[in-house]
Amino acid sequence: MAEAYAWIEQSLNTIRRANWYRSPQLIASKAGAEVIINDRSVLMFASNNYLGLAGDQRLIDAAIAACQAYGTGATGSRLVSGHLPLHQELEQTIANLKQTEAALVFSSGYLANIGTIAALVGKRDLILGDVYNHSCLKNGAILSGATVLDYGHSDLADLGNKLAQQRSQFRRCLITTDSVFSMDGDLAPLTEIMALAEKYDCMVLVDEAHATGVFGDRGAGLVNALGIKQPLIQVGTLSKALGSLGGYVAGSAQLIDFLRNRAASWIYTTGLSPADTAAAIAAIKIINTEPERRHQLWQNLELLKKQLAQANIIAIATESPIVAIEVGDIATTLAIAAQLKEKGLFAPAIRPPTVPTPRIRLTLIATHTEAQINHLAGCLKQAVEKTKP
Ligand SMILES: *Cc1c(COP(=O)(O)O)cnc(C)c1O
């Protein structure tokens, strides 16, 4: 019997030999710019907590109050016993933020994408996705049963060629892209993608996971910041800048009505917990009323850019609070991450198979101080110089 599982050990050994082995890191404190790792205070440069809201007392209080009022669990799927006034309020709040007719919350951003893509297209249809899209856009595409083609990263010529060659052979076509790419931190050319979509009669799904709360003068995301007005499908998460857990889709009332009837990952899963729902509502209220948090985040990015330039360290992109730095092969990147950790900085190495090339991936928080960012840049410079031959 045990023989049937022997392949798992072999597989793990292969993963280790390739330097691909990963394991989670215990964070033993409240979310924030400073956390406790291995009994030690460490500066966090790896979280998606862009506005510092995951540790905000107002979100904590809202979550506690929701637990007191509604209990800990939603008790069932939204269509059966798990639909709460809080869900309605959150969906209205998201629609207001995104300036769409309606919105629908899922239990995670991953589930929002998988369920939405699989509901929108099927066997007779085509999906064209950016090759650097997040895992959930790719797996949603596979699940849909549609023909799936990747186009080169933000490569409009490639996307245009593929549309010209393929579009007419399919019933519906869906173009999918991250708005801020999660591992490189660069931005998708959304305006140009929308123009191609109009020309070839395609739907567009934009994943605003890293843009919501961060881009636009109201924090509504990159679609809003670019002033895009055509119909499209906006997906995102409640678990990054919003500091909670869950995902959403925002769009027309008909789209949302359709998803409530067809998105399996919404229909057949338990409604979002009262605590997570209330925390997300509180977060969007803060995003609406405290633009200074967003401004501070962008100021922190300006400071980091300046420091990296002075240290001659080149980032893949500096258009978002995700700053990825290529410093060498996998072993070198791991060594630099280890040196940073030694100095009390958590800025991990991200490597294949997650990304094609290894890099140190930094993410900024609005609540990082100037001194903390200066310290990061100084240690990074030292670590990079130490690994040079
Ligand atoms: C994090 C992320 C998701 C998943 O969101 P969760 O709510 O954490 O499941 C989806 N898309 C992108 C681009 C992401 O970065």
79-101 residue pLDDT tens: 999 999 999 999 999 999 999 99
For ligand 1, is residue 234 a contact (CB within 6 Å)?
A: no
Ligand 1 lined by 187 (C-beta under 6 Å): no
pLDDT per residue as tens digits for the range 347-361: 999 988 888 899 999
Q: How far apart are the C-alpha atoms of 62 and 54, rounded to whole Å?
A: 12
Residue 21: band (very low, low, confident or very high) from pLDDT cuts 50, 70, 90: confident
Q: How far apart are CA 20 and CA 386, in angstroms?
A: 23
Distance (Å) from CA 327 to ligand 1 centroid: 26
CATH hierarchy code of domain 57-289: 3.40.640.10
* Same fold? 25-55+291-387, 57-289: no
Euclidean distance between CA atoms 140 and 122, whole angstroms: 11
What is the average pLDDT value for the chain, to the nearest integer? 96
Confidence of residue 1 (pLDDT cuts 50, 70, 90): low
The CATH code of the domain at 25-55+291-387 is 3.90.1150.10
Q: Whose CA is nearest to atom 1 of ligand 1?
A: 209
265-285 pLDDT per residue, tens? 999 999 999 999 999 999 999
Q: Where are the domains of the chain?
A: 25-55+291-387, 57-289
**Per-residue pLDDT tens over the stretch 293-350:** 999 999 999 999 999 999 999 999 999 999 999 998 989 999 999 999 999 999 999 9
pLDDT in tens, 222-277: 999 999 999 999 999 999 999 999 999 999 999 999 999 999 999 999 999 999 99
| Closest protein CA for atom 14 of ligand 1 | 209
Per the CB < 8 A criterion, the answer to whether 84 and 70 are in contact is yes
